[in-house]
Amino acid sequence: MTQKSKVRLATTSRYTLMILLAAIFALPLLFMVISSFKPGLQILQDSSSLRAFLPVGDLSMQNYFDAFDRAPVARFIFNSILVTTVTLALGLFFCSLAAFALACLRWKGQGIVLTIIIATFIVPFETIAVPLLMIVSRLPTIGAEGFSYGWLNTYHVQIIPFIVDAFTIFLFVQFFKSLPYDLIEAARIDGASWFQIYARIIVPVSGPVFATAAILKGLVMWNQYLWPIMVVQSEQYRPVMVGLGYFFQLNTAWGEIMAYLSVITIPILVLFLSLQRVFVESIASSGIKG
Amino acid sequence: MTTTETTIQTQSEPLSRLNDRQSESLTGWLMASPAILLLLGFLIIPFFFAFIYSFTNQRLISPNPTEFVGLTNFKRLLTVRVLRLEPVTDEASGQPVLNDEGNYTYPRVREYTRNNPDYPQYDGLQEWTYFDIGQTRWMLLAGDAVFMKSLVNTFYFAIFIIPLQGGVGLVLALLINERTRGVNIFRTIYFMPVVVSMVVVSILWSFIYDGQNGLLNNMLEVVTFGHFNPVDWLGNPSTALPAIIVMSAWQGVGFHMIIWLAGLQTISYSLYEAADIDGANTWQKFLYVTWPGLRNTAIFVFVTITMQAFGLFTQIDVMTRGGPLDSTTTVIFQAVQQGFEKQNIAYGSAISVVFFIMVLSVALIQRYLTREKAV
């Protein structure tokens, strides 16, 4: 074999492998979206041929209408958007503010605080879920009905425990430490307060790290599952992932299920496809600590 | 500071500097305090409560006051004893009694574990599993047989998913690390499942794995021209956990592909050029240049997959709820079952503590493996 044909063979086999792998990763998701437009019976019939992945047959939006009829889907989506955005807004603010203090100011106890925060890295949420359930079920709430005990079945029980996490703080600390210190020193001499420095100098130049933190934290929040099944029983406050339970009661209608799955997944996929570069860099940067 | 300012401030400098320091210290604490308080209240305190509860009989709602019970919960969780059973023999002939299928019969375990004063060490234990060696049956008894199964399942899951997800991730990274046409599209496709929720993935794959109309069975039937007998992947104790392993790797592998890719890109191109000059082939280049350069990445990949694997919960809760026959139950699934569904906070917390010790061991292994970095 000549050198040239050898290279060609290598390239061909590499592309064949890549295409095969791409099929494995893409086809299940394609199947989900395509099936969401097909009647339940047709989904079952088509699943024995390549038609499963093709938009053929009786296509309609009926599954979507039925899904919205069967369950308060709009409510679930609203709940998830609310919980995700409020947690993100508060979380990015408090985490970056703490990280700014840890990275740029000098204060007593700073070292020990940073050490403790980094130590909490290795405590997975699953470890504390059960005792946390106990704690939040006893915490006081001031609501429309006055003072009461227990945070179960609320929005704040889904938000407050997740505002701050060690990983986000760490991400910000790393970034702020890499900024030139002259920036801060100059502002100090001009008489700016520390909060002004944070808000007017640090935040404006930290777009990339805010984006990274928002993506990683946002994905976690949108996909919340274990915690809401523990603390939210009333449908009024249920997030999207827990709302899925509705579609398995009584008869399992696969068409509606595929429609619901698509509704809660496609926005994230579109967001990912449009912000791909930031997404991928976020993930890559999360590996830096290793 | 400029010289003019210094001269003007000479008199008051020590005082203002002290004030500055104090106010900086105060501001530092103020800025960090919301984060510190939230971490304390919703992570650090619950973490210590997990330890405290695990030594009590705390329930979510209980009419009786909570009491310290010492190591009772851990004893129940971790007790394992071996019971040796000999075949039942006929009193008269001394020959073993065979059952209808021609197998040996053994004394009932219940006779040892239920109020038998001769065997106090087996009291209250449950049948976990057994091995037959010759005629002798070695019965493993556990304080909580389901928890022992969940421990074994969790390690089984970890042992198989680490090479699968890590290995496929590396292959994908190597494939798309070449700067050729279309690589970005492939990277996007491989990464897509990562942004899809595990709940969604689990439901989607429940359909794929379905025993009757499942996509996988149908595809295998087509590929083998009808020679494949449909399998109820999730309904069969021997295939349920492997099926979940494959699905989990499918969802998570894109993440580790990106991590490997970031590692690959730190390896200097001149090393490959040098290897080319030495006449190294592709495999040798991988073995002597790429792999050593990926050492820290490999440790990170190993640790993150292991931690994720130990925390296995969502897939189980959505797809199998631990079944069939406890073949897919896991440590965290048990913690939630006990702590939440059975409202036994204390026992669920004890499981959480065991889980934390597992995670801590992995973290210590990581520290040990990366120790030379600190030197």
As a whole number, mean pLDDT of residues B84-98 equals 80
Residue of A19, A44, A100, A126 best to disrupt the B interface, most CBs of B under 10 A: A126
Classify the phi-psi angles of B179: left when phi > 0, otherwise alpha if psi is within -120 to 50, otherwise beta: beta
User: What is the nearest CA distance from B216 to chain A, expressed in angstroms?
Assistant: 9
Cα B341 from Cα B345, distance rounded (Å): 10
- Over residues A77-132, the pLDDT tens digits come to 999 999 999 999 999 999 999 999 999 888 888 899 998 988 888 788 888 888 89
Q: Which residues of A touch B36 (CB under 8 A)?
A: 98, 113
Q: How many helices (H) and strands (E) does chain B have?
A: 18, 3
Which of A35-49, B146-160, B264-278 comes out lowest in average pLDDT? A35-49
Q: Which residues of B touch A290 (CB under 8 A)?
A: 259, 296-297, 299-301, 303-304
A27 against B126, higher pLDDT:
A27
Cα B289 from Cα B283, distance rounded (Å): 10
- Quick one: what percent of chain B has pLDDT higher than 90? 26
Q: How confident is the model at residue B50 (pLDDT cuts 50, 70, 90)?
A: confident
Question: What would the DSSP string read from start to end of B274-307?
Answer: HHHHTT--HHHHIIIIIHHHTHHHHHHHHHHHHH
Most confident of A119-128, A142-151, A252-261, B245-254: B245-254
Please name which of B173, B319, B147 lies closest in space to residue B246, comparing C-alpha atoms. Answer: B319
Residues 6+ apart with CB under 8 A from B173: B257, B258, B260, B261, B263, B264
Residue B323: CB atoms within 10 A of its CB come to 15
* SS3 (DSSP) at A103: helix
| Predicted pLDDT at A262 | 93
Q: Is residue A47 part of a domain?
A: no
**Phi, psi (5° rounding) for residue B141?**
-110, 145
Cα B197 from Cα A110, distance rounded (Å): 37
Nearest by CB to residue A17, choosing from B35, B49, B175, is: B175
A140-143 and A146-149 strand pairing: antiparallel
The boundaries of the domain holding residue A112 are: 81-124+151-252+266-286
| Predicted pLDDT at B2 | 42
- Quick one: what percent of chain A has pLDDT higher than 70? 96
B89 against B36, higher pLDDT:
B36
Q: Which residues of A touch B356 (CB under 8 A)?
A: 123-124, 127
> What domains can you pick out in chain B, each with its CATH number?
80-142 (no CATH), 146-374 (1.10.3720.10)
Nearest by CB to residue B49, choosing from A135, A169, A223, is: A135
Cα B9 from Cα B6, distance rounded (Å): 5
Q: Which residues of B touch A109 (CB under 8 A)?
A: 29
Cα B244 from Cα B161, distance rounded (Å): 10
Residue of B43, B264, B330 best to disrupt the A interface, most CBs of A under 10 A: B43
Q: Which residues of B touch A265 (CB under 8 A)?
A: 196-197, 200
Binary contact (A131, B46; C-beta < 8 A): yes
DSSP H/E element including A39: none
Tokens of B11: 């008199």
| Predicted pLDDT at B224 | 81
| Predicted pLDDT at A184 | 86
Q: Is residue A188 part of a domain?
A: yes
Domain count, chain A: 1
Q: How confident is the model at residue B18 (pLDDT cuts 50, 70, 90)?
A: low
* SS3 (DSSP) at B176: helix
Please name which of B156, B131, B155 lies closest in space to residue B141, comparing C-alpha atoms. Answer: B131
Q: Which residues of A touch B224 (CB under 8 A)?
A: none
For residue B8, pLDDT over 60 is answered with no
Q: How confident is the model at residue B16 (pLDDT cuts 50, 70, 90)?
A: low
Contact (Cβ atoms closer than 8 angstroms) between residue B59 and residue B119 = no
The residue with tokens 């010289």 is B3
For residue A3, pLDDT over 80 is answered with no
| Predicted pLDDT at A122 | 78
Q: How confident is the model at residue B193 (pLDDT cuts 50, 70, 90)?
A: very high
Q: Is residue A167 part of a domain?
A: yes
The alpha-carbon radius of gyration of chain A (Å, integer) is 24
Binary contact (B27, A101; C-beta < 8 A): yes
Strand partners, B137: B85, B132
Contact (Cβ atoms closer than 8 angstroms) between residue A130 and residue B333 = no
ipTM of the complex: 0.86
Q: Is residue A58 part of a domain?
A: no
Q: Which residues of B touch A195 (CB under 8 A)?
A: 27, 31
B156 against A290, higher pLDDT:
B156
CATH number of the domain bearing residue A90: 1.10.3720.10
Task: Report A:198-257 residues touching B (Cβ under 8 A).
Answer: 198, 219, 222-223, 225-226, 229-230, 241, 244, 254, 257
- Over residues A148-186, the pLDDT tens digits come to 778 888 888 999 999 999 989 988 998 898 888 888 888
Contact (Cβ atoms closer than 8 angstroms) between residue B299 and residue B307 = no
| Predicted pLDDT at A288 | 53
Task: Report A:20-79 residues touching B (Cβ under 8 A).
Answer: 21-22, 24-26, 28-29, 31-32, 44, 47-49, 52
Q: Which residues of A touch B250 (CB under 8 A)?
A: 24-25, 28
* SS3 (DSSP) at B329: coil
A279 against B198, higher pLDDT:
B198
| Predicted pLDDT at B11 | 45
Residues 6+ apart with CB under 8 A from B242: B160
User: What is the nearest CA distance from A146 to chain B, expressed in angstroms?
Assistant: 23
Cα A97 from Cα A195, distance rounded (Å): 9
> What mean pLDDT, rounded, does chain B reach?
84
Which of B18-22, B37-41, B348-352 comes out lowest in average pLDDT? B18-22
Which of A283-287, B62-66, B135-139, B301-305 comes out lowest in average pLDDT? A283-287
Contact (Cβ atoms closer than 8 angstroms) between residue B340 and residue B280 = no
With CA atoms as reference, the chain A residue closest to B185 would be A22
